[in-house]
Amino acid sequence: MSLINNVKTFVLLGLLTALLLWVGSFWGYSGLAIALVLVLVMNLVSFWYSDKIVLKMYKAKEIRSAPVKELVKELAKEANIPMPKVYLIPSDAPNAFATGRSPEHAAVAVTQGILSALTKDELRGVLAHELAHIKNRDTLIQTVASVIAGVISYVAMMARFGAMFGGYGDRDGGRGIELLALAIITPLIAVIIQLAISRSREFLADERGAKLIRDGLPLASALEKLESSHVKLKFGSKMTSSLFIVNPFKGKALWKLLSTHPSTSVRVEKLKSMRW
């Protein structure tokens, strides 16, 4: 299953790249290069400082000593990665996330709610999932996907402005339909592919987290409890919802392809079928 999810990620990144090259055919490589530089700079800044930004956004405070930190330390040793910093988010909503640009600069954040809602084994399953994200370098993969999708969206915006102000006409030789697709459809496709990458990494973290503790049932039980909770995060941003182990804002996508997370029921079913 790990191989399938990694191949899926590779294929989806390839599709994003192909979409980017197709977009580039409208503007030539000079216009594409400008968009790439602008979006790359923005995403690199975000990638480099994302952990600090998101931890501050959720009012997280570093935990110096607590049972949850000992669990993280134990699991990090088992996973053969550096010990990440551990933070507590002052919220009753049960949830958790991992952040950081690399295993050497990583952090795991848990809410007060998750510490009281889960048993020790369930919490161990959640933490193993988050450490799997760190070991898989999912932040880096998501940043690459964000850069490509961002360039596509930026170029599409340029196309819309060009169309609005009469930058394209008959001289383009009947490429009006293609231009419309570039301006409207390609950003949507890019977002769909980007979210598909996010969902594939969640499945992979589920599997590798369960493998780390040699049991899929604790994480499956934890996910069922988190999904059934009616307590929502009252601060933060929906833009960061994909970071969490389950969507903290409980918003359900009208279309499955626009969901930041896989279906919890599917994740639970997969976890319960795992054996070691």
**What is the set of active-site residues?**
130
Of 13-22, 25-34, 264-273, which gets the smallest average pLDDT? 25-34
Range name among 75-84, 162-171, 246-255 with the lowest pLDDT average: 162-171
Phi, psi of 91 (to 5 degrees): -145, 145
SS3 207: helix
Q: pLDDT tens digits for 175-219?
A: 566 666 677 787 888 888 888 888 889 999 999 999 999 999 999
pLDDT computed for residue 40 by the predictor? 67
37 vs 101: which has the higher pLDDT: 101
pLDDT of amino acid 48? 77
**How far does Cα 48 stand from its chain's mean position?**
16
Reported as a single tens digit per residue, the pLDDT across 69-116 is 999 999 999 999 999 999 999 999 999 999 988 899 999 999 999 999
H/E stretch holding 154 reads helix 138-164
As a whole number of angstroms, the distance between CA 70 and CA 163 comes to 58
| Percent of the chain surpassing pLDDT 70 | 72
Neighbours of 184 (CB within 10 A): 13
Which structure tokens are listed for 209? 């987290």
Entry pTM: 0.79
Whether 122 and 219 have beta carbons less than 8 Å apart is answered as: yes
What does the alpha-carbon distance between residue 249 and residue 58 come to, in Å, rounded to a whole number? 13
Mean pLDDT, range 138-142, rounded to an integer: 78
